[in-house]
């Protein structure tokens, strides 16, 4: 039965691509029909001419052609002033010519994207001509935005500052002002009038029905106007875009909307909606920062803007470009950055226009081939779809003597023939003169010459494009920046579905060394992607590379090939077992005795997670064990006794293997092997279970299924959180296990990029506070700025044995493992802060410290503005954490309690006791201190009584405040920088303290004090590092360090207090608040003093300075 | 006899007319009388060995005489073997062996789906493998889930199938990492879903008509990450390329595999080494009449063709091959026929360089593949002399050695593919 017209309408029209996400893998080529190829020799490029060049584009490897406006137009703004939306400018051909071009492009596998300029029309458009004649209030009139005054919407900026003085222009015919955000001959359409959107949708259908694959929506932010706003990015504008998208989704398949929104990434983000507005948007702020990073030879401009780039929905994509048909826009940079860019890239004022620089890529970088290649390597390897501007693939130049932005819109240079092979017309007839100077002229730079030159830029571009297309990771993968000490090196890892690529770029004009920390990538083989050259394998040591001037490397990280390891003869050192799953044979009886006496002491001693390295192991004993995953693996508790002191207990997952897996383990992870096994079938090994991915998955599975396994003396239980399913994602079976490399006391196992499991090696009685608090925050509070809790594995002994002596029955439960959602981040807060401080000191090195305090504050904001904002965010998050932990709870471990006078007395006493220990140690160590701190240390000792008195005063406090569970070891290293925010981690408390102490309720001000001291530490640690290169700057910069510390601390505290205001989390009364806080800060500084005296005497000056400052 | 039982749960509900458990498809017109005889020959044996299996033989019309309707059994009866005729659109039937089979595969896949058959055996139109044993071997691993594609392991004479041994097998193995000795078939077993994929294959941008392209089941299995098993078959096919000259065959088959390489770099550039996969069935022992007769293959004309090419095609080869390879070829030209040996690594690189030139369209693809012919004849001469005194097993080992060298030289191919700079050694 034939379908009705209505039914037909419902069927989606397929695009030329079947993959709806095709744009993620695309290489877009932007061109103007007028400038590309002239077939009829009238001096203007046309569609038949373009058609003849499709083979060239196919050969270049681009996959999508973006056509600049080709519609009938007076061409007063290069076609962006449209007179007829559904026609073709006769100069460029006919509609049939367009259709023939479209079909030919599709035949070659090329997609086509056209412009949808819907913010405004030409003043010659029939709609406008009708509007100015129509009476006010009529439908025709309301197609545009009219006013009797030019004062409406006065908060909207003027964009074309060089030519326009107002966004309103008087129309003598209509006798009213009309609104235009761009040129006065481009009146803005009025989207408050329902007919406008209907007409726009008709236009859209006209082209999509024809088979056009994509629409670039011009000037999106300005569609709607509202009084009292900047008339940019309004909710009503988003409503228009959602409507357009809904029309496309309903009727068309595999089409694309690309948004032109020259805004900050956070403002562009809403144009993706929930994946229901635009598929793509340009990343405008990145482009100038790439040029800035290149000129400054510093990666920070790039990493900073990428850090400010929010996540976008999975079906969306950024559009990346180095240059386009407009000026190199400098709207999305600070004033200082703009000045720098003008100085760096536009020596001649003629190169500037509006707020930008009107130059092509090659002239911008002084025609340096290496720079061009470096910039393109970034373009092709950054997350997004690269867009190439026509002619940039051959390094075309520009003509700054032409008006407006026409200097970058000259005819394509095809050959050294007449008119650059673009047209056979009389040169005077050309729409624009071809570039003719000796360096950039078509005789020197043209396609034909470069096609025959194997080493040309054109061939280089073609190879790079082909290479990029081989790896979907570039278009679809995640991005993680590395932080090598050498800031001239930009290094990042792209990852997608198991494919990993390491990109390293040298932004400097000189060769640069770099050492890359690549945790988790040990044993991977980097394969240089251009030449398929294998580099040495990655080890646990920093990976050294040297890059030539402007050099770059794309390294595919491949797993090491399996090596054939000769089987070892079975000798007396191996244990005899009946099979790989013969755990009883291994862990009970004679074999167990050998394992305990000979194997474990040696094995444990060499493990990174072993905490008693300075203690001599006397004995080990397997105190309990059980098997999981159908007896494939075992979980064992091993008690380690020492010659002196209390024993420890460690968790040991165990696995056995033979054959190829064994060979692989022996080749790459021999440290994980406990012993050889003598099996009936041959040789096997007993090894740490986490080196078997199946064992890792079995642990995960225990949580997923909340399963329970009996052990010899207890039970092991898996626990799952209510959000585990969402953390695992849609295909948990595909999660790939890998072991973390930065192992310390715990062992980390990653499951793809979604989950991290921490195995608590050293076991203590009672619930692990990290697990306990993580679970509480996830399951019982709304606090979202922590790693979400996914599950745990707990152990409960039937009888009390061994070293673990629980204080209560509840403490009989121990935590083996905790699972959390993996938070993608830009590094920990400490590292990020040090980098920011490095910039701060660089900026302050030659600045004069203002005398007035008010002015100092202003200067601090100027130099450390980003960090001040970050400190406020951190203060807010800290407050929110404390509020969450202070909620009334039926769980006794979390229910807050009110500070009693006895609590205050006890607090004062404890702090004095701590201080006494620190002072005694300082006195003992005085003779060994560095010369430059001896005097200050003496001063600290002289203040012993003052400090004791101050701490004792805390005992006399009588104020209402709460004791709650707290972080307990709060500092910058315990937070992650995530976009423009922070995530708080690691609630384990201070590792040196007992579990009971770590779980005790305390004043949240302990955390606040910890973070304030961390700021101070960062300020001076960064200063020490900075001035190690320039010692002469220390005197100059120390006041700046203090200023930063004060300003950042004040901002953190302000935001914190605002957040907790009205609660009893901390004392409301300012004096009591300050007194308590000072006490905790002093206590922390004294704790640091003890730590540094014991571990890092060179750093002892930092806490000493702090104590002096706090005791003044 | 291996057991070929259909799992009950895989059967369509109710034995409707036209349903079947397995489909035997003949993808090209076959000789009618022959088909008549073969179906009659094996019906009883099939019924006794596979009493629960319903099997349909589908063939694209019949050449000559023969009436098959008398061989049909009531639809849906267990232990049945019946034949149905299917039609191919005009011109869809292949005129060249190996080529243009996509429409037939598509049609057979449609038939299998209609009948509810989950597994298919595709047999060469010469019906050399049309026996219960071969069919069972091809289908059994599919039905018990051990494989999604079963490819044949023939036991030909050591001088047979040299194009496959010298180029198609080692190149296919190196590219896609599957050790499939006969990657093109012509007999193979396949799941219906994979056969559907084969039917959809169209070679865009190839020099031959889309529908005339060779379809490589082993390649398709690699692309879809399907499990492949090889089964030892006793069927002995006649010369497949009878009536076609060598340059044409080279052009069609080598061009086809090059074309696939051009289409799938994302896949093959990630493959390292190769996997042996499952091999089933007993090795077929056959007395090879040429085994011990040295010089059974007269290589003089081949060497003449090689030397003629060396003289006349230097300029063409210079566009394709790097200087060090050209120098090696030049040295080969100075050797006596008895000394003439092309080292494996050199041969592998020559093939890789031609594959690259094919992709880059360095010259017309027809001319390019034509220029490969004298080099191939040189390789055949070298190889034939080398294995002249070897038995079939040793000759097979020699092919394996060559295939390993192709794998070892693959990084050369990848690097040249990624950065095809002519300024190379």
For the residues A828-843, what does the mean pLDDT come to? 88
pLDDT over 80 (residue A499): yes
A667-700 in b/e form (b: 16+ CB < 10 A) is ebeeebbbbbbebeeebbbbbbbbbbeebbbbbb
Option in A109, A454, A558 nearest B421 (CB):
A454
CB atoms within 10 A of CB A516: 21
Percent of residues, chain A, with pLDDT higher than 70: 96
Q: Is B423 on the interface with A (CB under 8 A)?
A: yes
User: For residue B405, what are the CA distances in angstroms to B171, B219, B399?
Assistant: 10, 20, 10
Nearest chain B Cα distance for residue A471, angstroms: 7
Contact A470 B266 (CB under 8 A): yes
Closest residue by Cα to residue A347 from A363, A334, A327: A363
Give me the pLDDT at residue A630, please.
Answer: 83
What does the block give as tokens for A430? 């050309």
Contacts of B266 in chain A (CB under 8 A): 469-472
Closest residue by Cα to residue A316 from A256, A371, A248, A237: A256
Nearest chain B Cα distance for residue A1031, angstroms: 48
B 259-278 → A contacts, CB under 8 A: 265-266, 269, 272-273
Give me the pLDDT at residue A720, please.
Answer: 94
For chain A, helix (H) and strand (E) counts, in that order, are 34, 40
How many A×B Cβ pairs under 8 Å? 32
Contacts of B423 in chain A (CB under 8 A): 454-455
Nearest chain A Cα distance for residue B422, angstroms: 7
Nearest chain A Cα distance for residue B223, angstroms: 15
**Relative orientation angle of helices A1005-1029 and A829-844, to the nearest 10 degrees:** 50
**Relative orientation angle of helices A95-107 and A194-210, to the nearest 10 degrees:** 60
Q: Mean pLDDT check: name the lowest of B93-102, B136-145, B349-358.
A: B93-102
A 462-521 → B contacts, CB under 8 A: 463, 466-467, 469-472
Q: Is B414 on the interface with A (CB under 8 A)?
A: yes
Cα torsion B251, B254, B256, B260 to 10°: value is -150
What is the average pLDDT value for chain A, to the nearest integer? 90
Gap between the Cα atoms of B120 and A829, Å rounded: 61
The nearest alpha carbon in chain A to B422 belongs to A454
Give me the pLDDT at residue B279, please.
Answer: 82
Q: Cα-flanking dihedrals φ and ψ of residue A1077, to 5°?
A: -65, -45
A88-97: list long-range contacts, CB under 8 Å, 24+ apart: A88/A47, A91/A34, A91/A42, A91/A44, A91/A46, A92/A33, A92/A34, A92/A44, A92/A45, A92/A46, A92/A47, A93/A33, A93/A46, A93/A47, A93/A48, A94/A47, A97/A46, A97/A47, A97/A48, A97/A51
Gap between the Cα atoms of A843 and A845, Å rounded: 6
pLDDT over 70 (residue B293): no
The nearest alpha carbon in chain B to A461 belongs to B419
Q: Is A533 on the interface with B (CB under 8 A)?
A: yes
Contacts of A529 in chain B (CB under 8 A): 418
Gap between the Cα atoms of A862 and A1044, Å rounded: 11
For the residues A101-108, what does the mean pLDDT come to? 96
pLDDT over 70 (residue B127): yes
pLDDT over 70 (residue B1): no
What does the block give as tokens for A200? 């726009």
First vs last C-alpha separation in chain B = 56
pLDDT over 50 (residue A787): yes
Gap between the Cα atoms of A853 and A850, Å rounded: 7
The nearest alpha carbon in chain A to B269 belongs to A470
Q: Mean pLDDT: which of A43-57, A787-801, B265-279 is highest?
A: A43-57
For chain B, helix (H) and strand (E) counts, in that order, are 16, 10
Going by pLDDT thresholds of 50, 70 and 90, the confidence category of residue A312 is very high
3-class secondary structure, A239:
helix
The nearest alpha carbon in chain A to B359 belongs to A59
Contact B419 A531 (CB under 8 A): yes
| DSSP bridge partners of A633 | A628, A655
The nearest alpha carbon in chain A to B271 belongs to A558
3-class secondary structure, B122:
strand
Contact A120, A127 (CB under 8 A): no
- Greater confidence, A677 or B18? A677
CB atoms within 10 A of CB A409: 24
Give me the pLDDT at residue B77, please.
Answer: 63
Give me the pLDDT at residue A16, please.
Answer: 85
Give me the pLDDT at residue A362, please.
Answer: 95
Strands (E), B158-227: 188-191
Contact A533 B415 (CB under 8 A): yes
Gap between the Cα atoms of A990 and A369, Å rounded: 54
Contact A470 B265 (CB under 8 A): yes
For the residues B267-289, what does the mean pLDDT come to? 76
Going by pLDDT thresholds of 50, 70 and 90, the confidence category of residue A332 is confident
CB atoms within 10 A of CB A1050: 17
Closest residue by Cα to residue A407 from A433, A446, A427, A428: A433
Percent of residues, chain A, with pLDDT higher than 90: 64
Phi-psi region of A631 (alpha: psi -120 to 50; beta: other; left: phi over 0): left
- Greater confidence, A799 or B337? B337
Q: Cα angle vertex A940, ends A936, A943, to 5°?
A: 140
Strands (E), B165-317: 188-191, 228-232, 278-280
Q: Mean pLDDT check: name the lowest of A651-665, A677-691, B208-222, B350-364.
A: B208-222
pLDDT over 80 (residue A8): no
Nearest chain A Cα distance for residue B272, angstroms: 9
Q: How far is CA A713 from the centre of its chain?
A: 46
Option in A454, A455, A529 nearest B418 (CB):
A529
Gap between the Cα atoms of A409 and A392, Å rounded: 11
Going by pLDDT thresholds of 50, 70 and 90, the confidence category of residue A825 is confident
For the residues A706-726, what does the mean pLDDT come to? 92
Q: Is A529 on the interface with B (CB under 8 A)?
A: yes
Contact B418 A454 (CB under 8 A): no
- Greater confidence, A978 or A192? A192
Gap between the Cα atoms of A628 and A635, Å rounded: 8
Contact A532 B272 (CB under 8 A): no
Residues in chain B: 425
Give me the pLDDT at residue A607, please.
Answer: 82
For the residues A644-659, what does the mean pLDDT come to? 89
Residue keyed to tokens 């001291």: A1013
User: For residue A756, what are the CA distances in angstroms to A417, A717, A820, B385?
Assistant: 63, 19, 5, 61
Give me the pLDDT at residue A799, please.
Answer: 64
Segment A455-487, tens digit of pLDDT: 999 999 999 999 999 999 999 999 999 999 899
Q: What are the catalytic residues of A?
A: 218, 260
Q: DSSP readout, A762-822?
A: EE-SS--HHHHHHHHHHHH----SBPPEEEEEEEEESS--TT---SSSGGGEEEEEEEEEP
Contact B418 A531 (CB under 8 A): yes
pLDDT over 70 (residue B294): no
Segment A406-441, tens digit of pLDDT: 999 999 999 999 999 999 999 999 999 999 999 999
Contact B422 A454 (CB under 8 A): yes
Going by pLDDT thresholds of 50, 70 and 90, the confidence category of residue A516 is very high
CB atoms within 10 A of CB B287: 7
Strands A168-171 and A146-147: unpaired
Gap between the Cα atoms of A749 and A772, Å rounded: 19
Q: Is A734 on the interface with B (CB under 8 A)?
A: no
Nearest chain B Cα distance for residue A528, angstroms: 10
């Amino acid at each position: 039965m034939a379908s009705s017209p209505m039914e037909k309408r419902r069927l989606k029209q397929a695009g030329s691509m079947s993959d709806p996400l095709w744009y993620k893998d695309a290489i877009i080529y932007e061109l103007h029909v007028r400038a590309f190829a002239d077939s009829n020799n009238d001096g203007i490029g046309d569609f038949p001419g373009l058609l003849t060049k499709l083979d060239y584009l196919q050969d270049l490897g681009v996959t999508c052609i973006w056509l600049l406006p080709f519609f009938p137009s007076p061409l007063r703004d290069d076609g962006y002033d449209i007179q007829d939306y559904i026609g073709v400018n006769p100069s460029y051909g006919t509609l049939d010519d367009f259709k023939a071009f479209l079909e030919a492009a599709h035949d070659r596998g090329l997609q086509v994207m056209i412009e949808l300029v819907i913010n405004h029309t030409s003043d010659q458009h029939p709609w406008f001509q009708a509007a100015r004649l129509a009476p006010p209030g009529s439908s025709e009139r309301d197609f545009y935005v009219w006013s009797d005054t030019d004062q409406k919407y006065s908060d909207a900026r003027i964009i074309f500052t060089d030519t326009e003085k107002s966004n309103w222009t008087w129309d003598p015919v209509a006798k009213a002002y009309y609104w235009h955000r761009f040129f006065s001959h481009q009146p803005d359409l009025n989207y408050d009038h329902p007919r406008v959107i209907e007409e726009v949708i008709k236009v859209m259908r006209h082209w999509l029905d024809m088979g056009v694959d994509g629409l670039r929506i011009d000037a999106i932010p300005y569609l709607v106007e509202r009084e009292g706003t900047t008339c940019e990015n309004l909710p009503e504008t988003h409503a228009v875009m959602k409507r357009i998208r809904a029309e496309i989704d309903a009727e068309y398949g595999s089409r694309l909307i690309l948004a032109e929104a020259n805004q900050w990434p956070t403002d562009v983000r809403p144009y993706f909606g929930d994946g229901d507005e635009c598929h793509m948007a340009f990343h405008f702020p990145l482009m100038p920062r790439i040029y800035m990073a290149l000129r400054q030879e510093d990666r920070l401009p790039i990493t900073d803007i990428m850090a400010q780039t929010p996540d976008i929905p999975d079906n969306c994509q950024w559009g990346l470009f180095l240059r386009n048909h407009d000026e190199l826009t400098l709207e999305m940079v600070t004033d200082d950055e703009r000045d720098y860019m003008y100085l760096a890239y536009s020596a001649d004022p003629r190169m500037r226009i509006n707020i930008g620089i009107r130059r092509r890529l090659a002239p911008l970088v002084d025609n340096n081939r290496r720079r061009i290649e470096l910039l393109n390597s970034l373009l092709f390897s950054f997350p997004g779809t690269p867009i190439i501007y026509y002619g940039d693939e051959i390094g075309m130049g520009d003509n700054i003597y032409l008006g407006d932005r026409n200097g970058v819109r000259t005819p394509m240079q095809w050959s050294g023939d007449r008119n650059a092979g673009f047209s056979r017309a009389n040169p005077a007839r050309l729409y624009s003169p071809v570039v003719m100077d000796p360096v950039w002229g078509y005789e020197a730079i043209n396609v034909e010459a470069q096609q025959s030159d194997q080493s040309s830029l054109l061939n280089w571009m073609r190879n790079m494009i082909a290479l990029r297309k081989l790896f979907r990771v570039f278009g679809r993968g995640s991005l993680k920046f590395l932080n090598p000490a050498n800031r001239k090196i930009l290094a990042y890892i792209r990852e997608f579905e198991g494919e990993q690529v390491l990109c390293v770029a040298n932004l400097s004009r000189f060769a640069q060394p770099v050492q890359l920390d690549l945790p988790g990538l040990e044993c991977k083989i980097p394969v240089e992607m251009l030449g398929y050259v294998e580099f040495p394998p990655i080890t646990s040591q920093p990976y050294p590379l040297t890059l030539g001037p402007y050099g770059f490397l794309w390294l595919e990280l491949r797993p090491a090939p399996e090596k054939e390891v000769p089987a070892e003869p079975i000798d007396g050192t191996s244990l005899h077992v009946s099979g790989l799953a013969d755990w009883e044979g291994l862990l009970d009886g004679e074999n167990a005795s050998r394992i305990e006496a000979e194997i474990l002491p040696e094995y444990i001693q060499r493990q990174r997670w072993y905490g008693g390295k300075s203690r001599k192991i006397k004995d080990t004993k397997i105190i309990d064990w059980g098997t999981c995953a159908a007896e494939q693996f075992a979980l064992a508790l091993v008690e380690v006794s020492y010659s002196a002191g209390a024993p420890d207990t460690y968790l040991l997952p165990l696995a056995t293997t033979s054959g190829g897996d064994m060979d692989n383990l022996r080749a790459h992870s021999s440290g994980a092997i406990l012993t050889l096994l003598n099996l009936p079938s041959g040789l096997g090994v007993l090894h740490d279970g986490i080196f078997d991915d199946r064992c890792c998955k079995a642990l995960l599975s225990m949580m997923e299924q909340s399963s329970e396994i009996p052990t010899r003396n207890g039970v092991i239980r898996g626990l799952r959180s209510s959000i585990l399913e969402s953390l695992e994602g849609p295909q948990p079976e595909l999660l790939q296990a890998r072991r973390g490399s930065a192992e310390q006391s715990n062992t980390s196992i990653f499951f793809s990029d979604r989950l991290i499991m921490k195995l608590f090696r050293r076991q203590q009685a009672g619930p692990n506070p990290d697990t306990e608090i993580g679970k509480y925050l996830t399951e019982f509070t709304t606090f979202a700025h922590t790693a979400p809790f996914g599950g745990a594995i707990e152990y409960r002994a039937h009888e009390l044995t061994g070293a673990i002596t629980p204080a209560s029955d509840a403490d009989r439960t121990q935590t083996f493992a905790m699972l959390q959602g993996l938070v993608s981040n830009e590094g920990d807060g400490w590292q990020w802060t040090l980098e920011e401080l490095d910039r701060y000191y660089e900026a302050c090195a030659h600045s004069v410290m203002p005398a007035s305090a008010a002015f100092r504050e202003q200067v601090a904001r100027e130099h450390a503005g980003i960090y001040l904002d970050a400190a406020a965010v951190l203060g807010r998050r800290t407050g929110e954490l404390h509020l969450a932990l202070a909620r009334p709870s039926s769980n006794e471990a979390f229910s807050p309690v009110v500070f009693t006078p006895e609590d205050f007395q006890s607090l004062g006493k404890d702090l004095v006791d701590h201080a006494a220990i620190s002072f005694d140690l300082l006195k003992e160590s005085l003779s060994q201190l560095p010369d430059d701190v001896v005097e200050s240390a003496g001063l600290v000792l002289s203040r012993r009584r003052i400090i004791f008195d101050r701490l004792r005063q805390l005992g006399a406090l009588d104020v209402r405040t709460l004791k709650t569970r707290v972080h307990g070891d709060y500092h910058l290293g315990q937070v992650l920088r995530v976009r423009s925010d922070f995530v708080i981690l690691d609630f384990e408390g201070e590792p040196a303290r007992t579990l009971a102490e770590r779980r005790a309720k305390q004043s949240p001000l302990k955390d606040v004090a910890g973070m304030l001291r961390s700021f101070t530490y960062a300020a001076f640690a960064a200063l020490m590092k900075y001035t190690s290169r320039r010692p002469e700057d220390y005197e100059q910069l120390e006041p700046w360090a203090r200023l930063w510390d004060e300003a950042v601390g004040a901002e953190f505290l302000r935001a914190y207090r605002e957040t907790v205001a009205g609660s009893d989390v901390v004392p409301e009364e300012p004096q009591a608040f300050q007194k308590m806080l000072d006490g905790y800060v002093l206590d922390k500084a004294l704790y640091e003093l003890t730590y540094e005296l014991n571990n890092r005497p060179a750093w002892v000056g930092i806490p000493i300075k702090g104590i002096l400052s706090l005791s003044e | 006899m291996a057991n070929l039982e259909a799992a009950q749960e895989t059967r369509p509900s109710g034995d409707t007319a036209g349903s079947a458990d397995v489909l035997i498809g003949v993808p090209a017109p076959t000789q009618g009388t022959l088909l008549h005889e073969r179906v009659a020959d094996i019906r009883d044996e099939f019924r006794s060995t596979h009493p629960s299996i319903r099997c349909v033989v589908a063939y694209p019309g019949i050449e000559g005489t023969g009436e098959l309707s008398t061989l049909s059994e009531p639809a849906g009866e267990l232990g049945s073997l019946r034949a149905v005729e299917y039609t191919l659109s005009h011109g869809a039937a292949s005129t060249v062996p190996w080529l243009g089979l996509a429409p037939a595969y598509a049609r057979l896949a449609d038939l299998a789906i209609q009948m509810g058959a989950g597994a298919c055996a595709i047999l060469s139109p010469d019906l050399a493998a049309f026996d219960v044993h071969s069919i069972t071997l091809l289908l059994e691993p599919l039905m018990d889930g051990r494989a999604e594609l079963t490819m044949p392991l023939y036991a030909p004479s050591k001088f047979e199938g040299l194009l496959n041994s010298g180029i198609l097998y080692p190149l296919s193995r190196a590219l896609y990492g599957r050790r499939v000795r006969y990657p093109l078939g012509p007999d193979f077993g396949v799941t219906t879903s994979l056969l559907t994929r084969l039917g959809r294959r169209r070679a865009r941008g190839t020099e031959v008509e889309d529908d005339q392209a060779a379809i490589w089941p082993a390649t398709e299995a690699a692309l879809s990450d399907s499990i492949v098993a090889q089964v030892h078959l006793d069927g002995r096919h006649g010369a497949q390329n009878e009536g076609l000259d060598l340059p044409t065959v080279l052009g069609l088959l080598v061009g086809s595999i090059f074309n696939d390489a051009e289409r799938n770099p994302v896949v093959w550039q990630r493959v390292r080494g190769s996997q042996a996969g499952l091999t089933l069935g007993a090795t077929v022992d056959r007395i090879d009449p040429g085994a011990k007769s040295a010089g059974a293959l007269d290589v003089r004309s081949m060497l003449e063709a090689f030397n003629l090419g060396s003289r006349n095609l230097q300029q063409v080869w210079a566009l394709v091959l790097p200087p060090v390879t050209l120098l090696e070829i030049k040295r080969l030209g100075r050797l006596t026929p008895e000394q003439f040996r092309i080292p494996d690594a050199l041969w592998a690189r020559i093939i890789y360089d031609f594959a690259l030139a094919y992709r880059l369209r360095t010259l017309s693809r027809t001319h390019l593949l034509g220029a490969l012919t004298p080099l191939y004849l040189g390789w055949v001469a070298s190889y034939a002399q080398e294995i002249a005194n070897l038995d079939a097993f040793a000759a097979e080992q020699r092919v394996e050695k060559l295939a390993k060298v192709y794998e070892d030289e693959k990084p050369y191919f990848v690097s040249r593919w990624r950065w095809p700079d002519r300024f190379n050694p």
